[in-house]
Structure 1
Amino acid sequence: MRLLNRSAGRLSRHRRGPLAGLFVLLLGLLMTGGLYTAFAPAQAQQQPSDEELVAEGRELFLVNCSSCHGLNGEGVRTADGDTQLGPSLVGVGAAAVDFQVGTGRMPMAQPGQQAPRKKVVFDQDEIEAMAAYVASLGPGPAIPDESDYSTEGLSEEERAAAVVRGGQIFLTNCTACHNFTGSGGAMPRGGYAPKILGVDAKYVYEAMLTGPQSMPNFTNGNLTPEAKRDVIAYLQSLDENPDYGGFGMGGLGPVAEGMYAWIVGIGVLVGFAVWIAAHSTRSSKNKTTDGTEKVEA
């Protein structure tokens, strides 16, 4: 019993010694570092820093985009200076990259007035990396948050009001190019306004924000995020509404309807008239002086 008491006394004296606190602190740091090493590296790899994202985006940019947009995004012109192979990307922002690359418009197969939508070449991580690099070249519109363009959280009353407001904005600013039903239309100098029905809400928002190709850009200063969302709600309502007129003929308006009327309607009537004339020729019979019959058509 006395031996146990002596051992307990020694331990008590050591715990109160000046090195005991330091030992406990070092032990705690070692345990914390071990736990961090075991669980943190995977998360660090999944979430690279901004510098790493920009560096990755620059590598992708140099390989896939620099031939038209320049090594530093300054744009490229032909030797005579008359033709712009690729515009400057300084100040276009991450939203422009997300729209152009996310819809497959970039990279283009060859320079032209219009960049058609096609199959997407890069995955989302690569698109975000290139967007981060272009954003580092100069201030510009950022990629919008889902809350800016999503209409999922609206009630029926709020959605109906948004459709009305968005319809007014669309009819005032957009129908000249995209027509009343959003089916697109021809533009001067080889351009065209693409069909915007069925397009993801994010890309519609980014198109309004950045103004790709011939489209004017509607910044948040002249068209608020709420107004842009109202336009998206209106376009979604067009997708949901059935075509009560039957065959919609592409929804391209009176020009397309007139073309159908001339080619199909009048064309069928003219063809039917020719068929009647060919099968209803009357024959007149006149007798000649020798008694034979002469048939005159």
Structure 2
Amino acid sequence: MLRTPSPSARKSRKQGRRSPLATISLIAAGLLFTGGAYAAFSTTTANAETPAAVTTASVEDGAKLFAANCASCHGLDLEGTAEAPSLIGVGAAAVDFQVGTGRMPMQAHGPQAPEKPVQFTEDQILSLAQYVATTAPGPGIPDESLLDGEGDTANGAELFRINCAMCHNVAGAGGALTQGKFAPPLGGVAPEHIYEAMVTGPQNMPVFNDANLSPEDKRDIITALKFIENNPSPGGNELGSLGPVAEGLFLWIFGLGTIVAITVWITARSN
């Protein structure tokens, strides 16, 4: 027999239902938690960068330098043109790398910008970087603690072999790419420029953000590269560090050539 719920049971069931405000509160709490976690992660990432003292005068100097040397290609508003990409959001690190290595301003359009003598002073480069960084957030110039070359050499060498050696060669000697492009040699490159290249991905290089390689991982890679640079090949002439192809070619040409020459000399004497 069906029983009709008593008034007290109906009242209890009604009170047990979730209020619409509870759902809204849960959504708000979830958004607050997510935003807090993202802010914490962003703060941790920003700690790897050194915010240089930004002054109004420095930014204004950077704007003047940009208008005189860069705007013809990148546009006065930094949004790019048909000749060059937008610079909004590239950060101070990209400017410090491109201008600090002489790649920018480019002398002529080509497959990629080659390294050449730097055309600006350090203060001018910093002003340009600060001006571009004011347009939108982006990677900053790395902290000196990440550039000291005191990281884990073994870990850095392993990370370099996994992530970089296919283009730059296992010894950092550089290598050819397609369509006239190339991965430059890394010997003699300043540590800050190596770090900035990893976080900005210039030319054909991919971007290695902190989710791919942590700041400490980047420090280890720099340490490994400086170890290779400061410790010449213990096996003798490294033949450009080009690997077994160059070594095999050397043996074929000079090794077998020497054997043939000796054979001819011995035969000539017997005759």
1:186 to 159, 165, 176: 176
Query: Partners in 1 of 2:71 and 2:263 — Cα distance?
Result: 61
Q: CA deviation at 1:268?
A: 5.8
Asked whether 1:214 is paired with 2:219, we answer no
Counterpart in 1 of 2:153? 163
| Structure 2 unaligned spans of 5+ | 1-51
Give 2:185's aligned amino acid. K
1:231 equivalenced with 2:229 (yes/no): no
TM-score (structure 2 length as normaliser): 0.73
Alpha-carbon separation, structure 2, partners of 1:259 and 1:115: 31
In the TM superposition, what is the alpha-carbon distance from 1:245 to its structure 2 partner? 1.5
Quick one: structure 1 residues 274 and 65, their matched pair in 2 at CA, closer, same or farther if it must change by over 3 Å?
Answer: farther
Q: How far apart are the structure 1 equivalents of 2:103 and 2:134?
A: 22
Whether the aligned pair in 1 keeps the contact of 2:74 and 2:86 (CA below 8 Å) is yes
Q: What is the alpha-carbon distance in structure 1 between the residues aligned to residue 221 and residue 109 of structure 2? A: 31
Report whether the alignment pairs 1:64 with 2:69.
yes
| Structure 2 residue identity aligned to 1:116 | P
Per the alignment, residue 133 of structure 2 pairs with 135
Percent of paired sites with the same residue: 50
State the Cα distance separating 1:240 from its structure 2 match. 2.4
Bigger strand share: 1
1:89 to 87, 90, 93: 87
Contact 2:54 2:130 in 1 (8 A): no
Change (3 A) 1:256 1:56: same
Q: Is the 8 A contact 2:78 2:87 kept in 1?
A: yes
Matches within 5 A, 1:91-170: 91-151=89-149, 154=150, 159=151, 162-170=152-160
Residue 196 of structure 2: SS of its match in structure 1? helix
2:246 aligned residue: 256
Structure with the bigger RCO (C-alpha within 8 Å, sep 6+) is: 2
Deviations 1:90-135 (A, max 9, x none): 1111000001111111111111122221111100110011101111
Q: Which AA in structure 1 matches 2:146?
A: D
Contact 2:168/2:184 (8 A) holds in 1? yes
| Selected match of 1:50 from 46, 55, 77 | 55
TM-score if structure 1 supplies the norm length?
Answer: 0.67
Stretch deviating more after TM superposition (236-245 or 203-212): 236-245
Aligned mates of 1:137, 1:71 — CA distance in 2: 12
Cα shift at 1:216:
0.7
* Aligned CA distance change for structure 1 residues 59 and 238 (closer, same or farther; 3 Å): same
| Alpha-carbon distance, 1:150 to partner | 1.8
Tell me by how many angstroms 1:51 deviates: 2.6
8 Å CA contact 1:185–1:194 kept in 2: the answer is yes
Deviations 1:191-235 (A, max 9, x none): 111111222111111111111101111112221111100111111
